[in-house]
Structure 1
Amino acid sequence: MNSSKKTARIAGFWYLLMAITAPVGLLYVPSKLIVPGDAAATANNIIVSESLFRFGIVSSFICQIAFIFLVLALYRLLKEVNQKQAMLMVAFVLVSVPIAFFNMLNHVAALILLSGAGFLAVFEPNQLHALVMVFLKLQEHGTIIAQIFWGLWLFPFGVLVFRSGLFPKILGILLLIAGFGYVVHSFTFLLFPHYGDVVAQYVTVPEAVGELSIVLWLLIKGVTNQKPSPGEDMLK
């Protein structure tokens, strides 16, 4: 196995780890515990299933750590295609990760509010439940902000994949479409929140297809036998 293929497989492993852990913290745990519009029921669910809630937090941490190792592996693989684009790809990821890390503090805050600590005795139960819901909403909005960068990093990544000769060009196109989907979804949610869910229905599939396609290619195929062509770059 040549070094490029080995690096691609390593990147595929980190990408797969992200693909497994991200839905747990972002989708599965919230769907099981958060009851929209019902702060008391949501608080009770978190108290009863605290281990599941904590598991969601840990899954999100693992996802973000894997994201760092993923982009570093991809940088090693693609930097010869265009170093500026490769650095831009890394920069977008390294901006998104701290946002995601700090955003997880909102879930930690929810746990503290429901911990029964003595200093919380000044709050009525319904007040604590409302505060918990506030932090959960902040978590949701923080994720939308981080998602902007989850889309932006796919633009240089997609261009590098398209131009590298190491992958089928269609994978680069699918990544660009996925990146566009993330960005459109985020800005729609921020500017026109009532349409956020509607847009999500249309962009979720291309997002998933774009990223899962490159994950599977990295893991199964690695790279093609073609060499990168660093001199050919439409975005220099």
Structure 2
Amino acid sequence: PASPKRLAAIAGVFYLVVGITGGFSEGFVDPSLYVAGDAAVTSANVVANEGLMRFGVVAHLTDAVFFLLTAVTLYLLLKHVGKNAARLMVVAVIVAAGIISISAVFTFVAMQVATDSSYAGAFGPLGSSALVLLLLEIQHFAVLAAQVFFGLWLAPLGYLAYRSRLFPKTLGVMLVLATVSYLVDVVVAFLLPGLAEQIHGYLSIVPAIAEIWMVLYLLIVGVR
């Protein structure tokens, strides 16, 4: 069996891939294409950036795969601390990865509708643009729903990190606080979208610090 340090290093590499592919797809590609409430602009963005959109779909799927690999590797590393908590961590990631994978399908279909003239012929230019917007809105809110599980997996991970003596206790606390930030962000986004735009940046600070710290600790230190 792999040593704890080796498992930590492997998990760190997998987690880094998640950060890169997730950041690219969710932080760059999706916002550059989808314009809420504007079918014409959204459809035009898709047509003008077909190649970028294809890379975005692949990045989403890669993100999902490596997210699962990260969770399984951390499960192997931390299951001795609490098997039930470790299982909950993996279950949350399985759900999140499934949602992300399905959302990528909606992105790909939106690209097909925007770039295949047969849809414009069948529904008219306005109808096909509206369909593109609808598909990308489903994708947008699916990713937002997945954020619930992006948050929930960090709670058991933080608990296990705190209890394990393998990581700084402060890191474990930060990971649990990141769960709270993710969940508040999602709830506010659905209930008070106007407010969500104002506070999203602030709510992203704790998760960003916690997850970057975790990745760097796994890669550089490994475990204590």
Give TM class, smaller chain.
over 0.9
- 1:26-65 residue pairs with structure 2 within 5 A? 26-65=26-65
How many angstroms does 1:198 deviate by?
A: 2.4
Question: Percent of aligned pairs with the same residue?
Answer: 36
Cα deviation 1:146-194 (Å, max 9, x = unaligned):
1001101100000000010001101101101111111111111122222
For 2:144, the equivalent position in structure 1 comes to 144
The letter of the residue matching 1:99 is I
**Structure with max Cα Rg:** 1
Distance (Å, rounded) in 2 between the aligned partners of 1:91 and 1:31: 28
For 2:114, the equivalent position in structure 1 comes to 114
Distance (Å, rounded) in 2 between the aligned partners of 1:131 and 1:118: 13
For 1:156, the equivalent position in structure 2 comes to 156
Please give the TM-score of this superposition, normalised by the length of structure 2.
0.94
* Runs of 4+ more than 4 Å apart: none
Uncovered stretches (5+) of structure 1, i.e. residues with no partner: 225-236
For 2:202, the equivalent position in structure 1 comes to 202
Count of aligned pairs between the two proteins = 223
Contact 1:11–1:73 (Cα < 8 Å) also in 2: yes
Q: Secondary structure at the match of 1:112?
A: helix
How many angstroms does 1:15 deviate by?
A: 0.4
Cα deviation 1:117-166 (Å, max 9, x = unaligned):
53651211111111111111111111111100110110000000001000
Contact 1:185–1:203 (Cα < 8 Å) also in 2: yes
Please give the TM-score of this superposition, normalised by the length of structure 1.
0.90
- Note if 1:127 corresponds to 2:110: no
For 1:76, the equivalent position in structure 2 comes to 76
Moved more, 107-116 or 192-201: 192-201
Cα deviation 1:189-234 (Å, max 9, x = unaligned):
122222222231221111100100000000000000xxxxxxxxxx
Moved more, 68-77 or 31-40: 31-40
Moved more, 104-113 or 192-201: 192-201
For 1:185, the equivalent position in structure 2 comes to 185
Larger helix fraction of residues: 2
For 2:23, the equivalent position in structure 1 comes to 23
For 1:10, the equivalent position in structure 2 comes to 10
Contact 2:43–2:129 (Cα < 8 Å) also in 1: yes
Distance (Å, rounded) in 1 between the aligned partners of 2:35 and 2:191: 24
Contact 2:120–2:127 (Cα < 8 Å) also in 1: no
The letter of the residue matching 2:132 is V
Distance (Å, rounded) in 1 between the aligned partners of 2:65 and 2:168: 28
Contact 1:71–1:90 (Cα < 8 Å) also in 2: yes
Contact 1:89–1:156 (Cα < 8 Å) also in 2: yes
- Aligned residues: CA RMSD: 1.5
The letter of the residue matching 2:115 is S
How many angstroms does 1:116 deviate by?
A: 2.0
Contact 2:35–2:41 (Cα < 8 Å) also in 1: yes
Q: Secondary structure at the match of 1:124?
A: helix
Uncovered stretches (5+) of structure 2, i.e. residues with no partner: none
Q: Secondary structure at the match of 1:167?
A: coil
